[in-house]
Amino acid sequence: MLSRYLRVLRRHRFWILFLAISLLASTAVILWMQPRWVIDNLSEAICPDALYSVQTDQPLVALTVDDGPDDQHRGAANTTQKILDVLAQHQAKATFFLISSRISAQNRELIAQMVRQGHELGNHLTMDEPSINLPLPQFTAALKQAEQEILAAAQVPQGGSLRWLRPGGGRCNRGMTKIANQQGYRMALGSLWPYDTSLPSSAFSTQQILANVQPGSIIVLHDHGPQGEWGDRTVATLSQVLPELKRRGYTLVTLTELSQALTIDQFSAK
């Protein structure tokens, strides 16, 4: 029996090799391009009812930055400060998904600075961990605690709130989505992930974003990281991406501004 299978494999080895190479090539293309139809088909399994992108003809792109603020207390070298500086230099706006346990006496002023510069704050819970592994009561408690600490650091008046929630690890389930909605949140993920926490290359991130960006894209980049390397990489990437996007006619906006563009387009079409 085994010898028969070996003969079959030898006889058809060209086609087997061809199919294997084709499968690998197709996977590589999908990972590089991250087409929206793939995300749409996987959205239920990744995070139900989350916002991944916006269908709009307006030249708007939302930039989101996860995992800040940088809590390594390195003064002027703080990566969150450097991200804010490069955004200000290019008149770009972003939504910062903050981890509340990283807010400290040394960096909390940066949270207020985000608000003053017109950026938006999002909830990334209390710890850098896969949120989907948390029991729902623990997830709820983390959501509420993070919101309180982020708003306090931002010096938002009592009664203020956050609008967007990004689960740690980028996954959620129906129970988490229901809790988020009850607390006034919408889950938000993205449509462009340049693998910046895995591949130590700002050049790769830059090319991946610029090759695949389109109106309504949501870019996901990261702050902090081991020894601040994710944040430094984001600064380098934004220094290349932002002027090129501006040259192409794009405006970098917050998630809320991008989601409003969807409402406007839909209303205009009726």
Whether the predicted pLDDT of 33 surpasses 90: no
Domain residue limits, the chain: 1-33, 47-269
Q: What pLDDT, on a 0 to 100 scale, did the predictor assign at position 32?
A: 53
Report the SS3 class of residue 119: coil
Q: Which of 153, 147, 75 is nearest to 114 (CA)?
A: 153
Inter-residue contact 117 to 88 (CB < 8 Å): yes
Q: What pLDDT, on a 0 to 100 scale, did the predictor assign at position 41?
A: 81
- pTM beyond cutoff 0.75: yes
Q: Which long-range contacts link 158-164 to residues 24+ away (Cβ below 8 Å)?
A: 162/121, 162/122, 162/123, 163/120, 163/122, 163/255, 163/256, 164/95, 164/97, 164/120, 164/122, 164/123, 164/188, 164/255, 164/256
**246 CB-contact burial (10 Å; exposed 0-12 / middle 13-18 / buried 19+):** middle
Task: Report the C-alpha gap between 76 and 81 in whole angstroms.
Answer: 7
Each residue's pLDDT tens digit, 137-146: 999 999 999 9
Whether the predicted pLDDT of 22 surpasses 70: no
Task: Report the C-alpha gap between 121 and 105 in whole angstroms.
Answer: 18
Q: What pLDDT, on a 0 to 100 scale, did the predictor assign at position 30?
A: 53
Each residue's pLDDT tens digit, 153-179: 998 876 678 999 999 999 999 999 999
- Mean pLDDT value of segment 6-26: 61
Whether the predicted pLDDT of 250 surpasses 80: yes
Each residue's pLDDT tens digit, 95-107: 999 999 999 998 9
Each residue's pLDDT tens digit, 201-243: 999 999 999 999 999 999 999 999 988 899 999 999 999 999 9
Q: What pLDDT, on a 0 to 100 scale, did the predictor assign at position 263?
A: 56
Report the SS3 class of residue 53: coil
Q: Would you tell me how many other CB atoms lie within 10 Å of the CB of residue 264?
A: 11
Confidence of residue 64 (pLDDT cuts 50, 70, 90): very high
Strands 186-187 and 95-98: unpaired
Largest Cα separation within the chain, whole Å, is 76
- Mean pLDDT value of segment 9-29: 60
Task: Report the C-alpha gap between 56 and 217 in whole angstroms.
Answer: 9
Q: What pLDDT, on a 0 to 100 scale, did the predictor assign at position 29?
A: 53
Inter-residue contact 256 to 64 (CB < 8 Å): no
Strands (E), the chain: 60-68, 95-98, 120-123, 164-165, 186-187, 218-222, 251-253
Task: Report the C-alpha gap between 226 and 208 in whole angstroms.
Answer: 23
CATH superfamily for domain 47-269: Glycoside hydrolase/deacetylase (3.20.20.370)
Q: What pLDDT, on a 0 to 100 scale, did the predictor assign at position 167?
A: 98
Q: What pLDDT, on a 0 to 100 scale, did the predictor assign at position 38?
A: 73
Q: Which of 167, 163, 170 is nearest to 193 (CA)?
A: 170
Q: What pLDDT, on a 0 to 100 scale, did the predictor assign at position 48?
A: 95
